[in-house]
């Protein structure tokens, strides 16, 4: 098992923590997400300089869904994926499968729909 570096601090900046647990590839991306309002700390929009403590809930907006993470351990140095997974509890609900969303499915290799096919799809969607 990999060791997780112990921190002396009682709190860590949220952008550094998100980067350290590998929620974002770079710390700059974590900071930009905070600035854009994609990160919430205890259901309040978080600035990059806000600090997290164990027990806090962090909601991170990802494309298509939100990740809900509970802080278990503070780290400010990036560690391996296995070690990082011990620093948070993931409470994210399971994502719905694509066919359940009602998206149109085409068979692979059928090519572009013909004009007749497109008209039929428009009628089914209620566009015309």
**Could you tell me if 83 and 72 are in contact, meaning their C-beta atoms sit under 8 angstroms apart?**
no
Structural domains in the chain (count):
1
Asked whether residue 81 is domain-assigned, the answer is yes
> For 28-59, how does the pLDDT look when each residue is reduced to its tens digit (9 = 90+)?
999 999 999 999 999 999 999 999 999 999 99
Higher pLDDT, 35 or 10: 35
Give the pLDDT confidence score for residue 38 in this predicted structure.
Answer: 95
Asked whether residue 25 is domain-assigned, the answer is yes
Give the pLDDT confidence score for residue 89 in this predicted structure.
Answer: 94
Asked whether residue 123 is domain-assigned, the answer is no
Place of tokens 């620093």: 87
| pTM greater than 0.85 (yes/no) | no
> For 52-77, how does the pLDDT look when each residue is reduced to its tens digit (9 = 90+)?
999 999 999 988 889 999 999 999 89
- Residue 67 lies in domain: 12-98
> For 74-112, how does the pLDDT look when each residue is reduced to its tens digit (9 = 90+)?
998 999 999 999 999 999 998 766 565 566 677 787 888
For residue 56, what are the CA distances in angstroms to 90, 101, 118? Answer: 12, 32, 49
- Could you tell me the CATH number of the domain that includes residue 27? 3.10.290.10
* C-alpha–C-alpha distance, residues 23 and 123, integer Å: 42
| Extended strands (E) in 9-101 | 12-13, 39-41, 44-45, 51-52, 57-62, 65-71, 88-90
Phi, psi of 44 (to 5 degrees): -125, 135
């Amino acid at each position: 098992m990999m060791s997780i570096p112990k921190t002396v601090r009682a709190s860590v900046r949220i952008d550094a923590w998100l980067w350290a647990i590998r929620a974002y590839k770079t710390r700059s991306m974590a900071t930009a997400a905070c600035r854009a309002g994609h990160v919430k700390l205890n259901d309040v929009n978080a600035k990059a300089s806000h600090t997290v403590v164990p027990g806090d809930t962090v909601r991170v907006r990802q494309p298509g869904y939100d990740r809900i993470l509970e802080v278990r351990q503070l780290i400010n140095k990036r560690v391996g994926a296995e070690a990082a997974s011990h620093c948070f509890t993931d409470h994210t609900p399971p994502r719905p499968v694509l066919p359940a969303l009602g998206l149109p499915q085409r068979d692979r290799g059928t090519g572009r729909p013909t004009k007749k096919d497109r008209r039929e799809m428009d009628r089914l969607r209620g566009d015309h």
